[in-house]
Amino acid sequence: MLTRRSFVFLTVPAGLGALLLACGDDDNGADASGKISKPKVGLVTDVGKVDDKSFNQSAWEGVQQAKKDLSADTKFIETTDPKDYAKNIEQFAGSNYNLIVTVGFGLGEASIAAAKKYPNIKFIGVDQFQTPGQEIINLAGLIFDEDKAGFLAGALAAQMSKSRVIGQVLGTDVVPPVVKFGKGYEAGADHAKPGIKVLTWYHPGGLAKGFDDPEEGKKQALQMISTGADVIFAAGGKTGNGGLLGCAEKNVLCIGVDTDQYNTLPEARKVLLSSAMKLITPGVFNLIKATKDGQFTGGNITGQVGLAPYHDQDKNVPEAVKTKLKDIDKGLKDGTLKTGVKV
């Protein structure tokens, strides 16, 4: 089962050199050693769509890298309604795909059910945490310390703010990773500039609408700007993208999410300070490669997080701010600094 409780994870190296737990030939292309000569990879998006310039797109880019580097056959199915999660996974499972990637917390229960039903298929669940002791050996949950990425974003925003008011436009709060981003942002801002005001908005539309409402995201960002916010963090798929575009319209600094949005959302480049990244693309690719090499392991796999480059804003970020952020990042990595976030 999925849970919103917090646990401490050990980071797994990118090579994922664990021994395969099952052996012998199966009906999904694995040889006796567990290696798969021809990966056939299907990806099921959340309702944010595959071209959301954020979360789903980052996962799909990892699959596309596997197509290029590992000669994998690849295909995606876009989910338009959360009620279709199981049906969409089933389309791949029933079509001889040996690896299925499901993107987002919302697909967690459907991924677990499918993994149990199809033990010879390997599953990668992005942002899908499995309760310790109840892990499924053919399901790898690619998870991240979003609170650390959010903490860095908040510390950057607070130091760059002149009004001492910053904001964040977020997807639904029914998704724990989104809440971790938000609370991490608040904690990082307070760490860098105690007492700074943080305006926080979560989309009330749940999984069905929370990540696919750019108009509302833009509206909320513009409202925050009108009340004094001069740096805004946006974490919510297309909803968050709307917030970034609102900032671009008003020439207000902003911070993207998941991937380096300087590369995916050029309309916001002129005001984009950085992005709070979850390195989803390499995380997905490394798990696909591990599957091909016969080194897949199930359970919780913790990917890396960090801030993207400052790009066009680099000259505007003082050296003292850059130095402080490097110190914060080091502390978060070596454990001497804690975010204090409990989700």
The pLDDT, as a whole number, for residue 53 is 87
**Domain-located, residue 19:** no
Whether 315 and 208 map to the same domain: the answer is yes
Residues 272 and 286 in one domain: no
Classify residue 195: in a domain, yes or no: yes
pLDDT of residue 31: 67
DSSP summary character for residue 30: B
Three-state SS for 246-294 is HHHHHCCEEEEEECCHHHHCHHHHHHEEEEEEECHHHHHHHHHHHHHCC
Contact 268, 247 (CB under 8 A): yes
The confidence score (pLDDT) of residue 27 equals 52
Question: HSE (CB half, 13 Å, CA atoms) of 56?
Answer: 22
pLDDT of residue 117: 97
Query: Is residue 134 domain-shared with residue 205, that is, in the same domain?
Result: no
* 2 within domain boundaries: no
| The pLDDT value given to residue 24 | 31
CATH number at residue 191: 3.40.50.2300
pLDDT of residue 105: 94
Q: Which residues of the chain have pLDDT under 50?
A: 1-26
94 and 175 together in one domain: no
Residue-level pLDDT at 240: 97
According to the model, what pLDDT value does residue 2 have? Answer: 43
Condensed to tens digits (0 to 9), the pLDDT of residues 33-67 reads 678 889 999 999 998 789 988 889 999 999 999 99
